[in-house]
Amino acid sequence: MNQVEDPEKNFLEMNSINKYSAKMPGAPENPEEIQKEMDRTKKELEKVKSWIVKKYKFTKSIGILPPQSIRVFLEEEEIPKETEKHVHLYVVIPEEQFKKIPEIKKEIVSYIDGLKLEDKVWVQVKTPVDVWENCLDSKFALTEAIGMSYPLYDKGFLGALRFTEIHKSLVLQKFEKYVVSYVVVGSFIRGDATPTSDVDVAVIINDTDVKRMPRLELKERLRGIIHQYMSEAAALAGVKNTLHIQTYLLTEFWESVKDASPVIFTFIRDGVPVYDRGTFLPWKTLLRMGKLKPTPESIDMFMKTADKTKGMIERRLMDAMIDVYYGVLNPSQAMIMLSGNPPPTHKETPKLMDEIFVKKEKMLKKSDIAILEKSVKLFKEYEHNLKFKINGKEIDALVTASETYIKKLKELRKKIEKRSQEKTIEEIYGNTLDLLKAMFGKAKGQAALVKEFEEKMVKKGKFTSHHLQILKNIVGARTEFKKGKLDSRKVDEARKDASSLINDLIDYTQRCDLASLDKSKCRLKYGKDKTAEVLITNQGIFLFYAGKIRKVQGSKMVDSDMNEVTEATTEQDKEVSFALDDFETIKKEIGDFEVIL
């Protein structure tokens, strides 16, 4: 069973916003009285609803007509006047069951009489066609009242009608001066509405007296505001349906009628106005009478389309060929870029696909890229030959081949990304362990390096526990990847975290190297207030003085340069040593000296 969410709230809101219904005689003024009356009536009619739905499973909707609308039904439907104070139950059944209406109504009345309800009940059994006939007879107030019915049971018809009526009321309150017709079309007219189906409507706007604004601007402004009311109407109606709204200007609509537009003729034939100011219904009547006829010009216009058919087909085949061309070219260029190469031109793409993925990487076969080569070749012919043509059979073959090619490219992408991820994780792992080996010894394995990092660096406060966790994550990520379990997201996370750890490790190593280098330096004072500097390395002892660089070589001094100094400091061990004889050699070079501390 489908019932509208919070129907009491929606019923009250509908009565408050619908100015046409509010004008109906006998309308209660106090919403609390309406609510109280609805609660009592609902409780009494719950058994009736359950019985009807169980016995007549095809029932579309059951609603209680608003009390303020009963007098209109008495006048328009020839209902006995003594039923004005009755509860009016409105039951909607499918059109194909219309022949059973007298029998169904009789059985429902008989069942209600047997219940001996406190309220007297009048039953109307109708089909969607009956509802729309009210509109075709310009009895719009009846349809409005049905839309405002309190929904005891609804498969979607009452909800969609309520949604439409509320939206129409909002539009009319704002633009009644301009709205010529508000027309419902589509499946809703056939009675096929569901709680989630779309409702197609069209609003015809009178633009004949608009002088200060271009017609197109008027149409766009009104259409924008009309669409804005859709969500408000849906909220008030308490439904999940969606309105598909088409806005027409009166002048352009009439132009389409004059030109015999099939869409407009169908719209006039099948559409039902829920509001009309004497425009749409006359069109509908004229069409039914055969008085709306295409002009000779419109007939000629339609006939001329036959002459253009061949050219249109050829252009569309050409468009299809171009679509296939871009459909295989763009992904191919993407694969080339993914492999680490710059974006290629369309002419270079087939050649690079062959060189990179067929010959070098052997990830594709030559036959795999045949569709790419053919598409590029056809496109070149098209560019240089104005009379180039292609037939449908060739297009079919291109489309089939392109589908196979795209599947292969998707597989290729996975392979490239996997290889890239493997390279990334291996680089991260290798760089991190190389730095740890430089700190703790090259001969040590992974587990020993991690343990030493924790014992000597983390526990002593030189690095944080977060650094240790990053190191363990890098080791774990590499292990997972080797097992084929790591995804691209985790690789990217490992890369970002490793960058922080590697930078901190490099910074620490450089600080240690500088500290070690400072320990291997000393300053000398010689002559009359002259200074020199000595650098002790494993590659020898360097003397810097008077703009010269000299090196101790055995028992003598030889010339040197910064390249040699840089090489010596790069390969510097943490501990260096020197002999007293080396200082004697320096003494021969600069004379007596003192060491400055």
CATH of the domain at 171: 3.30.460.10
Which DSSP helix (H) or strand (E) runs through 533?
strand 530-537
* 405 lies in some domain: no
Question: Does residue 301 fall inside a structural domain?
Answer: no
Copy the structure tokens of residue 221: 């402004």
Residue of 87, 235, 67, 76 lying closest to 163 (CA atoms):
235
DSSP 8-state assignment for residue 65:
P
The verdict on 234 and 111 lying in the same domain is no
* Residue 13: inside a domain: yes
**Which of 499, 516, 533 is the last residue before a domain boundary?**
516
Residue that the structure tokens 């099939």 belong to: 262
For 249-308, write each residue's pLDDT tens digit. 898 888 888 776 778 888 888 899 999 998 899 988 888 888 777 666 666 666 666 667
Whether 42 and 129 map to the same domain: the answer is yes
pLDDT recorded at residue 142? 94
Confidence at residue 593, expressed as pLDDT on a 0 to 100 scale: 86
The reply to whether 21 and 137 lie within a common domain is yes
Q: Which of 24-33, 169-178, 406-415 has the lowest mean pLDDT?
A: 24-33
CA-based nearest residue to 439, from 539, 512, 499, 502: 512
- Return the structure tokens found at 107: 């059985």
User: Which residue is it, tokens 């099948």?
Assistant: 270
List residues bridging with 248 in a β-sheet. Answer: 204
Average pLDDT over residues 480-507: 76
| CA–CA gap between residue 440 and residue 215 (Å, rounded) | 82
Residue 104 and residue 407: Cα distance in Å, rounded? 60
Domain count, the chain: 5
**Strand order across the 272-276 sheet:** 242-249, 198-205, 179-185, 272-276
> What is the pLDDT, as a whole number, of residue 16?
37
Domain membership flag for residue 359 = yes
70 versus 417: the higher-pLDDT residue is 70
pLDDT bucket at 527, cuts 50 / 70 / 90: confident
Q: Is residue 97 part of a domain?
A: yes
Q: Is residue 404 a part of any domain in this protein?
A: no
Do residues 11 and 144 share a domain? yes
Domain membership of residue 397 (yes or no) is no
Tell which of 477, 493, 516 closes a domain. 516
Q: Name the burial class of residue 556, with classes exposed (0-12), middle (13-18) and buried (19+) by CB atoms within 10 angstroms of its CB.
A: exposed
Average pLDDT of the chain, as a whole number: 83
Domain range for residue 560? 520-596
**Residue written as tokens 């087909």?**
313
500 lies in the same domain as 542:
no
Residue 513 — very low, low, confident or very high, per pLDDT cuts 50/70/90?
low
Domain boundary (253, 269, 293) is at 293
- CA angle at 460 for the pair 457 and 466, rounded to the nearest 5°: 55
